Chain A
Amino acid sequence: MWETFGFEFVNFYLIPGLVLGCIYALGAIGITLTFSILRFANFAHGEVMMIGAYLTWTAMILSDSLFGSSLHPLLAAIPAVVIAIALFILVDRYFYKPFRAASTIRVVMASFGMMLVIRSFVQAVWGPNQLTFVPGIAKPNELVKNLTLSMDMMILVPNKHFWIIAGTLIIMLALSWLLTKTKIGKGMRAVSDSPELAKVSGIDVEVIVKATWCVGGFCAVAAGVFLAMDLQMLETTMGFRMLLPMFAAAILGGIGRPFGAVVGGLVIGLAEELSVYPWFGNGSLISPGYKTGVAFTIMVIMLVVRPSGLFKGRLF
């Protein structure tokens, strides 16, 4: 059973699906929070993921030339997180805040413009070509391999995937603590529930907005770095390509539901990978070229059948 079916399914479809799901989930958290707290679809979210990955790469290169050894991407991501959050807050202050009182479509357009600005900026600074993020072949984690071998299975999780899954789990736990145990996190949920009531409850909504960009920015950079670790390369459209599945994940989970976004991300990541598994006969179920269509299909079906998402999110 394992030989004929499990090995291939788990190692080549399930684990990559989970990894992709983790990346979508992290990106979708930021999208769903911005959507519910600031009430707009932020098209520039993918670009912050992308610039976060570029900044991380730069920190790795810098540490290599200064100290002779390259930092692990997860450590190099720390300065990237700080810069990306600062970028998010500055962009909000000067490009989105002036539109706060206007109709939503204006700030959506502003975020669309910001998406192009950030991408062009990255192209101007780092160049339009692909860059190698981490060279070499990803070796499977020996520990997991030996452990599962003793159980008559052989699960091959490359170290990069191990880090992505573990990192996502840790971020989820931290986010859960933030949103349910801290004053600022509860305030974020309150503003997401009802910004009008939050205002007349004495909650300083602008503080909550900044906190939202911090959380969204952190998760976006994590998603960007994980994506770069997975692909082992960087390109300026990497964030934009994530945008549709991330929106699909946010909608699937329900707008304003960060944990819904996580479930949505995992479902869409898995659905994309499992849709090319040869369920019937030898050929893949759908051609890999249509993989990205899976997220779109799920999003459309969800919007038609249950627009509030799996976890009863907000409707606008």
Chain B
Amino acid sequence: MSDLKALEIKDLHAGYGETEILKGINLSVKPAETVAIIGPNGAGKSTVVKSILGLLNVISGDILLNGKDIVGVAPDKAIKQGISYVPQTHNIFPNLTIIENLEMGAWTRSSGISERIDEMFQLFPDLKIKRNKVAGSLSGGQRQMVAMAKALMVDAKIMLLDEPTAGLSPKFQAQIFHTIKRINKNGVPILLVEQNAKQALEIADKGYVLVDGANKVEGSGQDLINDRNVARMFLGSK
């Protein structure tokens, strides 16, 4: 059991149509791990997440969810298989109430929806008070909470987060990272794509540095923070 991976990507080549953006990605997420993907703009970080979901064209390579190949599986089926996905933008239904957003996240579930909603309200108590407010009326940080709660309505085998702290104030950023760690502690493996490299690596068990569609450096979160090259490139230090 120990070498079973929640998610494993082997030599993935993928892109939009014929344009190859990912040129050989290898990464894995073990159960109970938080894994961060960092890298410069245009390195293909979000593309990795989109290929896992089946949103774009996989040219070659394998994507294994709990050992099962999911290449070519349509997005709605991929979600049903237990991928919890929080897109970077447009990740809530603004004209639906919070509770309706959660119900939409549970579309593929046939039972246990109200229990799951209660669990989400325990994880995000702020949302419970505003449960009948339309999600579009919330602040940026709260919207992100709704997006995460909505994504977690599936029985998540892995959670994919695409830049969850982009555009948020530092206070909310810290809160989001804290929440991600809590979700992970509850037993959900996490694959996190982040611009805020340092904070992401701080909560990550493992990190990958993506450059030009391939992973250049990998290591534990702390090792990458201490790596001088990585630090110079992404962490803003000299």
Which residues does chain B contribute within 8 Å of A189, judged by CB atoms?
Answer: 93, 95-96, 100
A190 to B92, CA, bound (A): 9
The size bracket of the interface on A is: 10 to 19
Asked if A197 and B90 sit within 8 Å, CB to CB, the answer is: yes
Given A183, A193, A194, A199, which contacts B76 in the complex, CB threshold below 8 Å? Answer: A199
From residue B136, how far is it (CB to closest CB) to chain A in Å? Answer: 9
Closest B residue by C-beta to A256: B95
From residue B42, how far is it (CB to closest CB) to chain A in Å? Answer: 21
Asked if A183 and B93 sit within 8 Å, CB to CB, the answer is: no
From residue A269, how far is it (CB to closest CB) to chain B in Å? Answer: 26
Asked if A193 and B93 sit within 8 Å, CB to CB, the answer is: yes
B29 within 8 A of A: no
From residue A97, how far is it (CB to closest CB) to chain B in Å? Answer: 16
Chain A interface secondary structure, helix, strand, loop or mixed?
Answer: helix
A142 within 8 A of B: no
Asked if B80 and A197 sit within 8 Å, CB to CB, the answer is: no
Asked if A201 and B96 sit within 8 Å, CB to CB, the answer is: no
Asked if B55 and A200 sit within 8 Å, CB to CB, the answer is: yes
Given B87, B95, B103, which contacts A193 in the complex, CB threshold below 8 Å? Answer: B95
A27-69 with Cβ < 8 A to chain B: none
Given A186, A194, A199, A202, which contacts B80 in the complex, CB threshold below 8 Å? Answer: A202
Which residues does chain B contribute within 8 Å of A196, judged by CB atoms?
Answer: 87, 90
A186 to B79, CA, bound (A): 19
Which residues does chain A contribute within 8 Å of B150, judged by CB atoms?
Answer: 201
Closest A residue by C-beta to B113: A183
From residue B175, how far is it (CB to closest CB) to chain A in Å? Answer: 22
Given A194, A202, A205, which contacts B93 in the complex, CB threshold below 8 Å? Answer: A194
A187 to B95, CA, bound (A): 12
Query: What are 10 A-B contacts defined by CB distance under 8 Å?
Result: A186-B103, A186-B104, A189-B93, A189-B95, A189-B100, A190-B100, A194-B94, A197-B91, A197-B92, A202-B79
Taking Cβ atoms with an 8 Å cutoff, the residues of A that contact B are 183, 186-187, 189-190, 192-194, 196-205, 256
User: 4 closest A-B pairs (Cβ-Cβ)?
Assistant: A202-B79, A202-B108, A193-B93, A190-B104
